[in-house]
């Protein structure tokens, strides 16, 4: 269960029951601050256009990129806007990337009758060798060619390219760079080992008849009811549990109840009701002993687009009695014991996976760190 460094072996399982039971106090959380206020939406207005998001993104990232470009290509490199470009002159341009993908599912193409197209079946990757890259800044856009790997980049990334413009109207790229990692605050030293448990993909309500044994075992380990005294002591070092999304399985989102007429579905309950009841019981056991943060995921009953708002406490009547339960947004940011955590439930990584040739999810996650943006594809395809 625990790795070699974390576990302490006590070999007390086969000893006769003792009169006094050993109790372990859980390590108290010395400091916790929830910094995900920027992700809470106040009022919802649906008339806002995406241009504001892109303009703000470019304006905020521009200084980081300019300093990074000067660092990489020397201080003498000229940073110009697209409107100031001269053909043949080598300079650096900062802008947002747009990738024109012919295979991207487009609602306009689907409902346009002149093409008589059937809706495209969902594929795992929408990349194509013919994808084109376009760089946009505040006023203009220009096509990119040259030494840039179109298959790896996705729409919405802000980057700096070094190259020159041709007479044909395209920009030939020699090199490009992202706004790499931001300066980090050093983590304060801790006195004892503390662990944060990350759980994801519980997939309740799957309906496949599988039992909840795995989940129940997990809850028992964390609450210290399993294992010998050494492992119970190690479990006491877990100071927080973060449930990172996909708490309900995608079977709960069956399309039948949505597409069928109302009179056919009157007596049937949505599958998510039963799943949420099971989740409530699990959360009750967990939050009785450890602070829990619950993040919504792709199939959970909250809004679909990022940032997802916290699940409503009325869904968990038993577990909300405990103040250790916290329902948080997705993405979620908090400072636990001086270490800053920032995470999502994975929708951004799977979206980048669909639109780029990168295969490894960890590599995609590292790439989002380098680009300094949690989900560059966000208003476009997420």
Q: 97 near 155, Cβ under 8 Å?
A: yes
Q: What angle, 0 to 180 degrees and rounded to 10, lies between the N-to-C axes of helices 271-287 and 213-222?
A: 20
- Give me the least distance between CB of 63 and another protein, in Å please: 9
Q: Which is nearer to another protein, 93 or 328 (CB)?
A: 93
Q: Which is nearer to another protein, 156 or 297 (CB)?
A: 156
Quote the tokens at residue 60. 């905020």
Q: How many residues does the chain have?
A: 382
- Give me the least distance between CB of 43 and another protein, in Å please: 13
Report the 10 Å Cβ neighbour count for 56: 10
Q: Which is nearer to another protein, 81 or 170 (CB)?
A: 81
Radius of gyration of the chain (CA): 25
- Give me the least distance between CB of 55 and another protein, in Å please: 4
Burial class from Cβ neighbours inside 10 Å (0-12, 13-18, 19+) for residue 336 reads buried
- Give me the least distance between CB of 182 and another protein, in Å please: 17
- Give me the least distance between CB of 167 and another protein, in Å please: 26
Q: Which is nearer to another protein, 351 or 380 (CB)?
A: 380
Quote the tokens at residue 373. 């943006």
**In whole angstroms, what separates CA 105 from the centre of its chain?**
22
Q: 337 near 316, Cβ under 8 Å?
A: no
Q: Which of 46, 57, 98 minimizes the C-alpha distance to 380?
A: 98
Q: Which is nearer to another protein, 49 or 211 (CB)?
A: 49
Binding site for another protein (CB under 8 A): 47-49, 51-52, 55-56, 59-60, 138-139
- Give me the least distance between CB of 56 and another protein, in Å please: 7
Quote the tokens at residue 361. 């999810």
Q: Which is nearer to another protein, 52 or 109 (CB)?
A: 52
């Amino acid at each position: 269960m625990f790795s070699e460094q974390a576990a302490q072996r006590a070999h007390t399982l086969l000893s006769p029951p003792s009169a006094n039971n050993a109790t372990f106090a859980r390590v108290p959380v010395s400091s916790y601050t929830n910094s995900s206020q920027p992700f809470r939406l106040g009022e919802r207005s649906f008339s806002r256009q995406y241009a504001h998001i892109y303009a703000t993104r470019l304006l905020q990232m521009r200084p980081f990129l300019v300093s990074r470009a000067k660092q990489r290509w020397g201080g003498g490199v000229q940073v110009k806007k697209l409107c100031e470009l001269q053909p043949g002159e080598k300079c650096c341009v900062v802008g947002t990337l747009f990738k024109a993908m012919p295979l991207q599912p487009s609602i306009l193409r689907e409902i346009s009758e002149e093409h008589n197209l059937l809706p495209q079946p969902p594929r795992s990757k929408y990349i194509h060798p013919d994808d084109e890259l376009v760089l946009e800044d505040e006023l203009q856009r220009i096509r990119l060619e040259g030494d840039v790997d179109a298959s790896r980049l996705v729409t919405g990334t802000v980057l700096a390219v070094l190259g020159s413009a041709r007479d044909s109207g395209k920009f030939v790229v020699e090199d490009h760079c992202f706004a790499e990692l931001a300066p980090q605050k050093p983590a304060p030293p801790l006195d004892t080992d503390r662990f944060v448990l990350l759980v994801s993909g519980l997939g309740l309500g799957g309906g496949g008849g599988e039992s909840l044994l795995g989940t129940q075992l997990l809850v028992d380990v964390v609450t210290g009811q399993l294992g010998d005294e050494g492992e119970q002591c190690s479990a006491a070092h877990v100071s927080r549990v973060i449930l990172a999304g996909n708490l309900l399985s995608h079977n709960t989102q069956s399309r039948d109840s949505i597409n069928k007429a109302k009179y056919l579905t009157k007596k049937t309950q949505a599958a998510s009701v039963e799943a949420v009841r099971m989740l409530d019981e699990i959360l009750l056991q967990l939050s009785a002993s450890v602070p829990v943060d619950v993040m919504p995921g792709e199939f959970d009953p909250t809004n679909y687009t990022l940032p997802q708002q916290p699940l409503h406490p009325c869904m968990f009547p038993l577990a909300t009695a405990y103040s250790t339960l916290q329902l948080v947004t997705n993405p979620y940011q908090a400072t636990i014991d001086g270490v800053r955590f920032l995470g999502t439930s994975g929708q951004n990584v799977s979206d980048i996976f669909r639109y780029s040739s990168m295969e490894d999810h960890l590599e995609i996650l590292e790439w989002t760190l380098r680009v300094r943006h949690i989900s560059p594809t966000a208003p476009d395809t997420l």
